[in-house]
Amino acid sequence: MTMEDGSGTTGAAPPEGVVLGEALEILRHLPDACVDLVYIDPPFGTGQERRLASIRTGSGEGVRRGFGGRLYRWEVASVHAYRDDMPMEEYLAFLYQRLREAHRVLRPTGSLYLHLDFHAAHHARLLLDEIFGCERFLNEIIWAYDYGGRPRDRWPRKHDNILWYAKGPTWTFERDAVDRIPYMAPSLVGREKAARGKLPNDVWWMTIVPTNSRERTGYPTQKPERLLERIIAASSRPGDFVLDFFAGSGTTGVVARRLGRRYLLVDSNPEAVAIARRRLAEPVERGLPLG
Ligand SMILES: C[S@@+](CC[C@H](N)C(=O)[O-])C[C@H]1O[C@@H](n2cnc3c(N)ncnc32)[C@H](O)[C@@H]1O
């Protein structure tokens, strides 16, 4: 089976769905130039295991003091974890090999979003400059949120870094498909513009997945659907092929499917694959998730 990529070359179609496997091994089986958009949110190079325990209240041996001083019982309902404990040099070599493959499988008009944080974003930018060429750098998106602890000795680190690179000199940017945000000073732009809102710039203020939200799966470092919605809506078109080979709980696939894109998700953790498959077995919800 072949498909046109709109630029004169053709590539065989990649498989679709959710695959349990090691990213590099799966990537090596994909044909050249078959993917329109890669979004990856790999382990960040934190040097630690990433673990999230969900608790169930009302039963169990644990006791906690809650609102109004009331005591309630709790127990651990599930624990999900994945490893992120490679030494930095090994981690960067690991990332480099997989980024090279990502570049190979992208179509000439495709692009890649690499989601990291302060641990490795500065190193990764140099890797991507080498693989894609520094002239193919498009943006460093700052995803700013406000959650978690606040150290007393420095500014709280409350953003992730998302590096966006194009494979070739032209790429997809569907600016009219992107959600709009309020102007900071609406009185300066007139009523009509203020009502329409503005195109976001490269700093995106969005909440993390709230503990009590419908989309919460209990998988550590799950990303919000709204974040993926903006990326996929802007950088692909209906029918395009989206690849995420560090897929975790499957957020990329859930949003890709909702927006009418094809997708391939890969993760080496059976727990992640089970969660992603469960999410994708649910009926498609049309419309935007709440911000
Ligand atoms: C940050 S999480 C992804 C979270 C995801 N974006 C979500 O919204 O749930 C990184 C994922 O990479 C997976 N992973 C780590 N090393 C991998 C490898 N070599 N091949 C495939 N998946 C891997 C982990 O199991 C983990 O699920």
Confirm whether pTM is higher than 0.85: yes
| Calpha distance 28→143 (Å, rounded) | 31
| Calpha distance 140→69 (Å, rounded) | 45
- Burial of 174-195, coded b for 16+ CB within 10 Å and e otherwise, reads eeebbeebebeeeeeeeeeeee
Q: How far is the CA of 44 from the centre of ligand 1 (A)?
A: 10
* pLDDT single digits (tens) 44-103: 767 777 776 766 667 677 777 766 777 777 676 777 777 777 888 899 999 999 999 999
φ, ψ dihedrals at 230, nearest 5°: -65, -45
Q: How far is the CA of 247 from the centre of ligand 1 (A)?
A: 5
Ligand 1, from 51, 216, 246, 263: best to mutate by most atoms within 8 Å of Cβ?
246
Q: How far is the CA of 20 from the centre of ligand 1 (A)?
A: 11
Domain ranges in the chain with CATH number 3.40.50.150: 2-47+86-281
Q: Average pLDDT over the chain, rounded to whole?
A: 89
What secondary structure does DSSP assign to 200-212, as a single string?
A: --SEEE-----TT
- Give the nearest ligand 1 atom to 94 CA: 19
Cβ atoms 11, 261 nearer than 8 A? no
Cβ atoms 31, 11 nearer than 8 A? yes
Q: What is the pLDDT of residue 69?
A: 76
Q: Confirm or reject: Cβ of 246 under 6 Å from ligand 1.
A: yes
Q: What is the DSSP letter of 120?
A: T
Ligand 1, from 222, 268, 280: best to mutate by most atoms within 8 Å of Cβ?
268
What band does 288 get if pLDDT is binned at 50, 70 and 90? Answer: very low
Beta bridge pairs of residue 166: 111
CATH number of the 2-47+86-281 domain: 3.40.50.150
**Counting runs of H as helices and runs of E as strands, what totals does the chain give?**
7, 12
What secondary structure does DSSP assign to 53-92, as a single string?
A: EEEEEEEEEEEEE-GGG-EEEEEEEEEEEEEE---HHHHH
Q: What is the pLDDT of residue 8?
A: 35
Q: Confirm or reject: Cβ of 113 under 6 Å from ligand 1.
A: no
Q: Confirm or reject: Cβ of 228 under 6 Å from ligand 1.
A: no
* pLDDT single digits (tens) 199-250: 999 999 999 998 889 999 999 899 999 999 999 999 999 999 999 999 999 9
- Count the Cβ atoms, other than its own, within 10 Å of residue 56: 12
Percent of the chain's residues with pLDDT above 90: 73
Nearest CA to ligand 1 atom 17: 268
